[in-house]
Amino acid sequence: NCKFKIILTTIILLFSSFSSYAKKAPDSFANLAETLSPSVVNISTTTIIEDRKNNLPTFPPGSPFEEFFKQFQDPNQGKRRSQSLGSGFIIDKKGYIITNNHVIENAEKIMVILHNDKSFEAEVVGRDPKTDVALLKINPKNTNLKSVKFGNSNELRVGDWVMAIGNPFGFGGTVTAGIVSARGRNIGGSYDDYIQTDASINRGNSGGPLFDMNGNVVGINTAIFSQSGGSVGIGFAVSSNLAKQVSDQLRKYGRTKRGWLGVLIQQITKEIADSLGLKNTNGALVSSATENGPAYKAGIKTGDIILKFNDIKIKNMNELPKVVAGTPVGKSVKVEIWREGKI
């Protein structure tokens, strides 16, 4: 009996400790969706696409036939207008809107449609292809816009509930929900810091917000992994901390200003770690330092391994460019390196 009581008590204690960490699933997303939907916009763009195909015969340069056929050629031949749809969200009642760069790239005309179907032509304040973030501006005139705030994406935990609102396939105001599947995903870019989610994201959701349960924007829905072109439960959102940093600079300067270290780096393999006496593969191996660059002037050499930058641990090579880029230009920082068997 005593053993049974002890085991039972242990199970109860374990269960209560687990339940203290777990958060209950929301009974409904309706209140959150109703509150936040007016801040999400549909974006329609018109792009001029040039088709290189020409139905006229080709002749050698200078041929008299070339001049003859030119008089029958339509100057607009080979050009066509393409319409595309995306999403965005209002971050300032003055009319500032964030979306993805790929939503508005090369657009001749950008129209922003509010939840009440009012439409405004937008101008591009600035864009950053490397993080796929763009900042637009509309003149709201007498329209009262409703804005949303950025949350701290670093506080997100895998398993947290999130909600997406956007314009998939032109169905504006679509609300989907899911959880954070992973954080810190890199899908091929230098400054990637993506949140992976299983909330349904499709074409047209690009540029729309990913909300936490407090109604704060924790990401910009940007990409999906799919062989069919539809949602398979693997979506990626630019983290809000990165998006806020970029959008603040776009608003202030019209472009981004990133910290630069001036090194070429490579991944540390297990073989490299063993040969250098490292206990693990953390850090970034410096293959060269740009002459007269910040790293070169500070004394960083080829073969050094950067373990910490500005007191932030560098877990792998991909971490370093993100940390450096997020450091204010001109700021002095401490760098911890591994050289010749010691820190």
Backbone φ, ψ for residue 303 (5° rounding):
100, -15
CB atoms within 10 A of CB 320: 20
Tell me the CA distances in angstroms from 208 to 120, 164, 184, one per residue in order. Answer: 17, 7, 19
Q: Which of 225, 251, 235 is nearest to 98 (CA)?
A: 251
Please check whether residue 136 is in contact with residue 125, taking contact to mean a CB–CB distance below 8 angstroms.
yes
| 69's tokens | 């056929």
Residue 288 falls in the annotated catalytic set: no
Most distant pair of Cα atoms in the chain: their distance = 108
- The catalytic residue among 39, 206, 231, 240 is 206
Residue 92 falls in the annotated catalytic set: no
- The Cα 33–Cα 174 span in angstroms is 10
Residue 115 falls in the annotated catalytic set: no
- The catalytic residue among 37, 84, 102, 115 is 102
Give 102-153 as a DSSP string. Answer: HHHTT-SEEEEE-TTS-EEE-EEEEEETTTTEEEEE---TT-------B--G
- The catalytic residue among 87, 128, 132, 239 is 132
Show which residues are catalytic.
102, 132, 206
